[in-house]
Amino acid sequence: MRKRLFGVLAIGAIVVGACGPGATTAPSTPASAAPPASASAPSGSPSASASAVDLFGTKYSPKQGTAGGTVIFSDWQEANLFNPYYFNQVTEANVNTATFDTLVSSTNDFKYAPSQATTIPTLDNGGVKAPGDGGDAMTVTWTLRDGLKWSDGQDLTCDDFKFTLGWIMDKANVGLPAGKTGYEDIKTIDCSGSTMVWHFTKVYEGYITLFGTGVLPKHYMSSISIKDALTGKGWLAKDLPKAPVSGPFKFASITPGQELRLARNDNWKNKDGRSAYLDTIVFKWYKDADAMIAGFKSGEHDVDTDLNDADVPKIKDQGLTDQSLALDSLTYEFLRPNWSTDTCSPRVTDRGKGCPVSDAAIRTAIKWALDKNAINTQLLGGNAALAETNVSPNAWFYVAPTETSKQDLDRANKALDDGGWTKGADGTRSKGGLKAKIEMCTTTRQVRQDTLALVSSWLKQVGIEAVVNPVSPDDMFASYNESTDQTPCALSRYKYDIAEHAFSVPLDPLSNYPVYHSSQLEPDGANDGHITDPDIDKDLETVKSNVDFAKVKDAMADFQKIYVEKTIEIPLYFRKEVYLVNPRVQNFTGNPTSAGPTWNAADWFVTGS
């Protein structure tokens, strides 16, 4: 699963890879990992302007807990990247959320809440000025909570934000999953005690979620060159126990292939001055979801995550329904077409020169050839909500589409006929010497392979030959810096024709910018679909340059219309976030946003033995 990062995550998407944008590469606002694991419902939240949806009025209210104990938290994909600006998988985002605090948290009820900040600056409360002070296009003033510290006891201050900005913007720092969007618009950061002022050269809508995966510790990272940071230095397995973090838990030990142990960070406090309740969180890795579910039933761990609609029947068969939690989410499963005209799958060697999916007729035909309802009923037990766009109905900027894409083979054939793709003697179409033969990449999850088997059968009926290639999520979702041109199905290198995966999308519509804007191709952004469309660019530039939520919503309405009309992607369904939770674990709520289930890990506590 790829998740759109909230900061990477605020403006990217984290790929719901193994489990299933942002995904990703989430694209909520950056992909990120997730917002901070704050304790209780924060105070000081501003009210939204009259023209906007209420983005700040969270109703989250955890129970008071007792200190001590351990929770074993499982996943079927292993976390390997721990620098908060380089990871891009959901399991790594979950670790990040537990170990790094941020200015703003994304809550389980789709709201923003202050965490390291005392309040969230807006136009209404005077924290945001546009135009800004002293010639700024926009000025944003934050107030940090008193007493913020790193896990090694050093003070966490505005200087860490200034350092992180410079680190991100270093020209040698390439391949950032969330790119540099937004950061490049900050001219300077001024510091005065707990007050932090950001001076923007342009109005930037996504200011709330910048630094959304946590700032870096200046006293630790300043001695590590960008060249070495790109190799993981400072955040490798051997480095983790000494790496300073800002969240409620710190790294204790790691056993690659087996587990990661986090210990309570007593230097982290919530707004009420309390540290996390738990002594320890253990991340335990399994080879696949079925083994993980079996481990839960046998009592090996307390929480299963990274499950979805396809796992619901298995959970029922195991008699675990009463310990399951299913939430409507912002995560959508989709087919990602590679728009590139010259870089695509190198494994289809007998089709001629070129990339078939770069042709709009092929993308349109695939959309109409699909039977989404059959996928849902045959593979998901009818549990999923079919999708027409990448925007969840739960998002404040969602606009219902005017047309649903029910299977229409005649329409698919017409798109290909009109596009100049003619059938040969073997039934496969071709155009200008290029055969309509494509590779469809996905992860090794069985439901995905079964989905693409169905898709392949439908495409054959309209003259498109498809080869399904399931690969490790470590390959498919490898970052630009991790991958090479030989990495199979690497999205970041455009080594695919069609890819099935999922994006967990953050709350901020600007999360779409690094994923769909033509300026954000790898390694400068997360546009792994190689999408280049001037109308999409125009709408996203409007979103990026506005802090008027009414104008943002209008631009996103047009974006969604174009997304459907031009087959930017082929969304299949919105997934449920499914968890298995031992009843002894209290205050576990899950989180359908890109923040993920560890968003409130500081509030978890255990009862009984």
Q: Please give the structure tokens belonging to residue 592.
A: 């359908």
Residues 358 and 504 in one domain: yes
- Do 453 and 320 lie in one domain? The reply is no
- The pLDDT tens digits of the residues spanning 147-186 come to 999 999 999 999 999 999 999 999 999 888 878 989 999 9
Query: What does the pLDDT look like over 110-152, one tens digit per residue?
Result: 899 999 999 999 999 999 999 999 999 999 999 999 999 999 9
Let me know if residue 272 belongs to a domain.
yes
Check whether residue 224 and residue 145 sit in a common domain. yes
Amino acid at 438: I
Is position 274 within any domain?
yes
How many CB atoms neighbour CB 559 within 10 A? 26
Binned at pLDDT 50, 70 and 90, residue 497 comes out as very high
581 and 568 in a common domain: no
pLDDT score, position 139: 98
What's the pLDDT score for residue 550?
86
Residue 608 within a domain: no
- Looking at the structure, tell me whether residues 452 and 303 fall in a common domain: no
What confidence tens digit (pLDDT) does each residue in 277-318 have? 999 999 999 999 999 999 999 999 999 999 988 899 899 999
- Quick one: pLDDT band at residue 53, thresholds 50, 70, 90? low
Are 448 and 519 found together in one domain?
Answer: yes
Query: At residue 132, what is the residue type?
Result: G
The pLDDT tens digits for 378-422 are 998 888 899 999 998 888 899 998 888 899 999 999 999 999 999
Indicate if 555 and 582 belong to the same structural domain.
no
State the amino acid at position 600 in one-letter form. Answer: N
Per the CB < 8 A criterion, the answer to whether 597 and 587 are in contact is no
Q: Are 464 and 316 part of one and the same domain?
A: no
pLDDT tens digit string along 188-203?
A: 999 999 999 999 999 9
Q: 307: which residues sit within 8 A by CB, 6+ positions away?
A: 19, 289, 293, 315, 578, 579, 580
CATH of the domain at 228: 3.40.190.10
Beta strands of 64-106 (E only): which ranges? 70-75, 104-106
Q: Is residue 20 part of a domain?
A: yes
Q: Is the peptide bond before 393 cis (omega within 30 degrees of 0)?
A: no
Residue 212 has pLDDT above 80, yes or no: yes
Instruction: Tell me what pLDDT residue 557 has.
Output: 96
**Which tokens hold the place of 265?**
């960070």
Instruction: Choose among 364, 370, 412: nearest CA to 387.
Output: 370
Q: Are 329 and 504 in contact (CB under 8 A)?
A: yes
Structural domain contains residue 24 = yes
Predicted local distance difference test score (pLDDT) of residue 329: 81
pLDDT recorded at residue 32 = 29
Confidence of residue 321 (pLDDT cuts 50, 70, 90): very high
Is 607 inside any structural domain? Answer: no
User: In b/e form, how buried is each residue of 378-397, taking b as 16+ CB within 10 angstroms?
Assistant: ebbeebbeebbbbbbebbbb
List the structure tokens of 504: 């967990």
Question: Does 609 fall in a domain?
Answer: no
414 and 367 in a single domain? The answer is yes
Asked whether residue 414 falls in the same domain as residue 466, the answer is yes
- How confident is the model at residue 19, as a pLDDT? 38
Residues 169 and 44 occupy one common structural domain: yes
pLDDT at 505 over 80: no
Backbone φ, ψ for residue 250 (5° rounding): -120, 160
Higher pLDDT, 310 or 372: 372
Q: Give pLDDT, residue 125.
A: 93
Segment 219-244, tens digit of pLDDT: 999 999 999 999 999 999 999 999 99
Asked whether 114 and 606 are in contact (CB, 8 A), the reply is: no
Alpha-carbon distance 375 to 363, whole Å? Answer: 19
Per-residue 3-state assignment (H helix, E strand, C coil) for 555-573:
HHHHHHHHHHHCCCCEEEE
- pLDDT of residue 516 exceeding 60: yes
Residue 510 belongs to domain spanning: 333-572
In tens, the pLDDT along 66-109 reads: 999 999 999 998 999 999 999 878 899 999 999 999 999 999 99
Give the type of residue at 599. Answer: W
Name the residue type at position 513.
Y
pLDDT tops 60 at residue 40:
no
Task: State phi, psi for 435 to the nearest 5 degrees.
Answer: -80, 145
* pLDDT per position as a tens digit, 447-466: 999 999 999 999 999 999 99
Whole-number average pLDDT of the chain:
89
Q: How many helices (H) and strands (E) does the chain have?
A: 15, 24
What are 520-559's pLDDT values in tens digits? 999 988 999 999 999 999 999 999 998 888 899 999 999 9
Percentage with pLDDT > 90 across the chain:
77
Q: State how beta strands 280-285 and 70-75 pair.
A: parallel
Q: Is residue 363, in this structure, part of any structural domain at all?
A: yes
Predicted confidence (pLDDT) at residue 570 exceeds the cutoff of 70: yes
206 and 272 in a single domain? The answer is: yes
Specify the residue for token string 């960070």. Answer: 265
CATH for 470: 3.10.105.10
Half-sphere exposure of 154 (CA within 13 A, CB side): 17
Domain count, the chain: 2
343 or 22: whose pLDDT is higher?
Answer: 343
Neighbours of 501 (CB within 10 A): 31
